[in-house]
Structure 1
Amino acid sequence: MKYPSFDKASDYQEIEFMKIGVIGTGHIGKTLVQRLSAAGHEVKVANSRGPDSIGADVLAFGGRAVLSAEALVDVDVVILSIPLNRIPEIASLTAGVPPEAVIVDTSNYYPVRDGSIGAIDAGQVESLWVTEQLGRPVVKAWNAIGSDSFAKKGKPAGSPGRIAIPVAADREADRKVGMALVEDTGFDGFDAGPLAQSWRQQPGAPSYCTDLTREEMPAALAAAEKARLPKRRDLSFAAVMERIEGVASNPDAEYLVRLNRTLFM
């Protein structure tokens, strides 16, 4: 698969692979490194604990463990797979990334984990808050799929029942890159429009971690009710925390999908 990129004149050119820097090796970040490396991309990965803490399984398909600053040097795409409350901490790193590079944010806001963020609590769209912290446009992707589904349910393009992942961005070229990379991780990239509408893929929405197909996604995005998201988000979070209490893992895919479909749809 080929992807759009920019030359110095801001014209498109086609490239066969992308240079990608991933920050974060949690449940989603780990799978991103594995899948994108296996797809033939040049992937560097970093976390807050240093390269030696990144396991061989994360790097099994060709990813390279580096320091955080190095992960963002000479890349076409940066993927931030860290808790939302840590986004401001890395703004100094992303400030050095060229403006034509694409920055993808996979985070979600959970007040119990992240602490209260007044602007989001007052209704600001999570992705727009992230753009303010970084001072540049972002793509919202891979936030609306559970980590177990992401690790286990990828399928080749065209497979029946392939799960779709919504991708939102203000710059069309960025959105296309995000969708293409989602495809390379084994899921259908679904065009979810601009960031102002990305609340439709936030926690509590019908599209969030409910494992829908491309055909089911439009109705789910349209059915989202912004005012109801926080209460539904917090109910789901509390149920998940009770289930995994004392267990060092995220909930299995089938439980999370059943729970979220019950609460969100």
Structure 2
Amino acid sequence: MVETLGILGAGKLGTVLGQLAIAAGYRVLIAGSGSSAKIELTIETLVPGAVPTTASDVYQQANIIILAIPLGKYQNLSPSALAGKLVIDAMNYWWEVDGPRPDLTDPRHSSSELVAHFLKKSHVIKAFNHMGYHDLFDEARPQGQAKRKAIAIVGDEHEYVKKTAEIVDRFGFEPFYAGPLAEGIRMEPGSAVFGANVEKNELKKLLARFEETKRGQMVLQARGINFK
């Protein structure tokens, strides 16, 4: 049975993820911020085979949903409509888009923890946020091919981490589990991993370097952790 995967966000990241999902054999629904008519030509041109639709239809028809909207708009999502679903958070905070939002950059928690707290009945996993959309488009490779690039995954529920790893693999990347959802802060802007287009061993090293970054030091201080 073909699985239905929904993408909320019809921008550059959303359309690239849509292309990867189509190539992986999913039935793909993509919704923008308004009516499906607004994105119809974009989806037809960039993601042939995907269905341009509304957020409401994505909620109803897809059990796997990727969030590729501006992070500052996460509270526009419907917690009740997303209840029970695997929600893959690919969002990042961008000052230029989201404006000054201290809540989204609070070093005491990852942004995905905020999303998970809001979507209390969903299964929130963080993935696909640290690699640029252009690299996602260029670097997808079948399993077993040399120099396959890695995607970090964080989450608190083993079943849904495993499911997300399967999706990452089918999209053409090597999944790497980087810890619970709180560890998603190691993948956010300001980290050594953010923007990384590397293989698994190098990704692991970059994740471990978080404490050496300015952002990492800020996080440790806010959480009362000493690092030498």
Compute the TM-score of the two structures, normalised by the length of structure 2.
0.86
SS at match of 1:159: coil
**Cα offset for 1:205?**
1.4
1:126 maps to a residue whose letter is S
Q: 1:211 to 1:132 in 2, by over 3 A?
A: same
The aligned counterpart of 1:3 is none
Of the three residues 206, 223, 226, the one matched with 1:220 is 206
Q: CA RMSD in A?
A: 2.1
Alignment of 1:31-42 (within 5 A): 31-42=16-27
Q: Does 1:27 align with 2:15?
A: no
Q: Percent identity?
A: 26
Task: Please give the alpha-carbon distance, in whole angstroms, between the structure 2 residues aligned to 1:83 and 1:184.
Answer: 25
1:162 maps to a residue whose letter is R
SS at match of 1:73: helix
Task: Please give the alpha-carbon distance, in whole angstroms, between the structure 1 residues aligned to 2:189 and 2:127.
Answer: 13
Task: Judge conservation of contact 1:207–1:220 (CA < 8 Å) in 2.
Answer: yes
Task: Judge conservation of contact 2:126–2:181 (CA < 8 Å) in 1.
Answer: yes
Of the three residues 141, 149, 156, the one matched with 2:135 is 149
Q: CA offsets per residue over residues 92-141 of structure 1, 9 Å max, x none?
A: 2x422341x20111001123431233334331211111112323441111
The aligned counterpart of 2:86 is 102
Alignment of 1:70-89 (within 5 A): 70-89=57-76
Of the three residues 172, 185, 188, the one matched with 2:174 is 188
Q: 1:48 to 1:105 in 2, by over 3 A?
A: same
Task: Please give the alpha-carbon distance, in whole angstroms, between the structure 2 residues aligned to 1:127 and 1:116.
Answer: 18
The aligned counterpart of 1:161 is 147
The aligned counterpart of 1:58 is 46
**Cα offset for 1:227?**
6.5
Task: Judge conservation of contact 1:200–1:226 (CA < 8 Å) in 2.
Answer: no
**Cα offset for 1:230?**
8.2
Q: 1:175 to 1:190 in 2, by over 3 A?
A: same
The aligned counterpart of 2:31 is 46
1:127 maps to a residue whose letter is S
Compute the TM-score of the two structures, normalised by the length of structure 1.
0.74
Task: Please give the alpha-carbon distance, in whole angstroms, between the structure 1 residues aligned to 2:96 and 2:211.
Answer: 22
**Cα offset for 1:84?**
0.3
2:58 maps to a residue whose letter is A
Task: Judge conservation of contact 1:157–1:187 (CA < 8 Å) in 2.
Answer: yes
Q: 1:214 to 1:208 in 2, by over 3 A?
A: same
SS at match of 2:22: helix
- The count of residues paired between Structure 1 and Structure 2 equals 213
Structure 1: which 5+ runs fail to align?
Answer: 1-15, 232-265
